[in-house]
Amino acid sequence: MKPKVAFFDFTSCEGCQLDALNLEGELIDLLAAVDIVNFREVKTEREENYDIAFVEGSISRESEIPRLKKIRDQAKVLIALGACACIGGVNCLKNSLPMDEALRIVYKDDARYYDTMPARPINAVVPVDYYVRGCPINTDEFLKVVKALLLGKKPEIPNYPVCVECKMAGNVCVFDRGMFCLGPVIRAGCNAICISGGRFCWGCRGLVDDPNVDSEKDILKKYGLTVDQVTERFKLFNAYQEVAK
């Protein structure tokens, strides 16, 4: 029997879901391997009976909590999809503001119609089995996770920094090109795509398990960033972890 797969989204742009199925040649194979029973972006009918739940987005409203808990209860395997779900992502930038002020900035006079709370990754609310990281996710990695689950093995997601893949890609170090990079403490798996494309690492995949953040901050300062700039750089995607520290 094919496993039933459902996709859910919380506070997010829903781009990761779209990327997950942006498979072209392999979509047919995927649909042959699994039943997608719930996917707001691509189909209207829904089924409340599923085995694997992919959850996109961070949790930023009280009402999202019971909804996520229900998904957790139903799913045999729950997978966080994308930076917002995995690490809180850009939504957590607002966490440094008072919530009513954040609402006012976004909704102006209509703020009173909305409620919000400090944003958090989904593992701050329910246990998460696996993570497909990035902003947006890497479709290959998504497939890797799906295949691992189908084979009944634990997905092998790198626990080493972006530097490893960056060197494999043969890039000249970002610091040698006069820019700043979070690569040394951010989890690989993206094949250093931003750096290979001429930019630097923003940190969308979150920190490795045991990051030497102090050393990275020292390096950023050594190369000329101010403490505030260093903090800003870390906060873009990793405000939740950064603030929690």
Partner 1 sequence: MEQKAVLVVDDEPIVRESLRDWLKDAGYQVTTAETGEEALEMVEKQDFGVMVLDLRLPGKTGIKVLEEVKAQRPWIKSIIITAYPSAETTAEAKRLGAIDYLIKPVAPDDLERLVRETISSAGREPTVAAEVEIRPKPPVVEIVEVKKPFVITQDSLRSIVESLAEEMEIVGVKSRHGKYVYDRITSFEELCLDYDVTVMPPTKYLLPAKETLLKFKVGDGTRVSPVTEAIPRAIIGVHPYDIKAIELLDKAFLATNPDPNYNARRQNTIIIAVDCLNPSPKSFAPSMGTHLTETGFDLLLTDIGIDYVVTVGSEKGADLLAKYAEVREPTSDDIAKQKAVRDEALAKYKLSLDVPRERLPKLLEESYDDPYWESRSKTCLSCGSCVMVCPTCFCFDVRDEVSLNLKEGERFRNWDGCMLVDFAKVATGENFRHDKASRLRHRMYRKGKYIVERYGRVGCVGCGRCAIACLAEIASPLETFNAIAESARIKEEAKRIVREARAETELYAPRLAELVKIDKLTPRERAFEFRFMDDKGLGHRPGQFVEVSVMGIGEAPISISSSPTRDGTFQLAVRSVGNVTNALHALEKGAIVGIRGPFGNGFPIEALEGKDILLIAGGIGLFPLRSLVQYILDRRSSFGRVILLFGARSPAERLFLDELAAWSQSPEIEFQETVDRGDESWKGNVGVITTLIPKVNIEPKKTMAVVVGPPIMYRFVIIELKKKDIPDDNIILSLERRMKCGVGKCGHCQINDVYVCQEGPVFTLAQLRNLREAV
- Shortest distance in whole angstroms from residue 243 CB to partner 1: 22
Q: Which residues of 131-148 are buried (b: 16+ CB within 10 A; e: fewer)?
A: bbbbbbbbbebbbbbbee
Question: What binding mask, one character per residue, do residues 138-177 give for partner 1 by CB under 8 A, x or -?
Answer: -----xx-xx--xx----x--xxx-xx--xx-xxxx-xxx
**184 lies in the site for partner 1, by CB under 8 A:** yes
Structure tokens at 27: 């979509």
**180 lies in the site for partner 1, by CB under 8 A:** no
- Shortest distance in whole angstroms from residue 181 CB to partner 1: 9
Of residues 185, 16, 188, 22, the one with CA closest to residue 89: 16
Give the DSSP letter string of 3-21: PEEEEEE-BS-SHHHHHHT
Q: Segment near partner 1 (CB under 8 A), from 94-102, 118-126, 207-215, 232-240?
A: 207-215
Check if the beta carbon of residue 237 is closer than 8 Å to that of residue 190.
Answer: no
Alpha-carbon gap, residue 164 to 218, rounded angstroms: 20
- Shortest distance in whole angstroms from residue 198 CB to partner 1: 9
DSSP class of residue 200 equals: -
Alpha-carbon gap, residue 212 to 228, rounded angstroms: 18
Alpha-carbon gap, residue 147 to 100, rounded angstroms: 44
Rounded to a whole number of angstroms, the CA Rg of the chain reads: 19
Alpha-carbon gap, residue 113 to 110, rounded angstroms: 6
Structure tokens at 76: 């045999």
Question: What binding mask, one character per residue, do residues 219-238 give for partner 1 by CB under 8 A, x or -?
Answer: x-------------------
- Residue closer to partner 1 (CB basis): 100 or 218: 218
- Shortest distance in whole angstroms from residue 1 CB to partner 1: 14
From candidates 215, 227, 229, 244, binder to partner 1 by CB under 8 A: 215
Q: Segment near partner 1 (CB under 8 A), from 38-46, 84-92, 99-107, 214-222?
A: 214-222
Q: Segment near partner 1 (CB under 8 A), from 55-63, 68-76, 109-117, 178-186?
A: 178-186
**210 lies in the site for partner 1, by CB under 8 A:** yes
Residues 20-59 that bind partner 1 (CB under 8 A): 26, 29-30, 32-33
Check if the beta carbon of residue 165 is closer than 8 Å to that of residue 50.
Answer: no
Contacting residues toward partner 1, per CB under 8 A: 26, 29-30, 32-33, 143-144, 146-147, 150-151, 156, 159-161, 163-164, 167-168, 170-173, 175-177, 183-185, 208-212, 214-216, 218-219
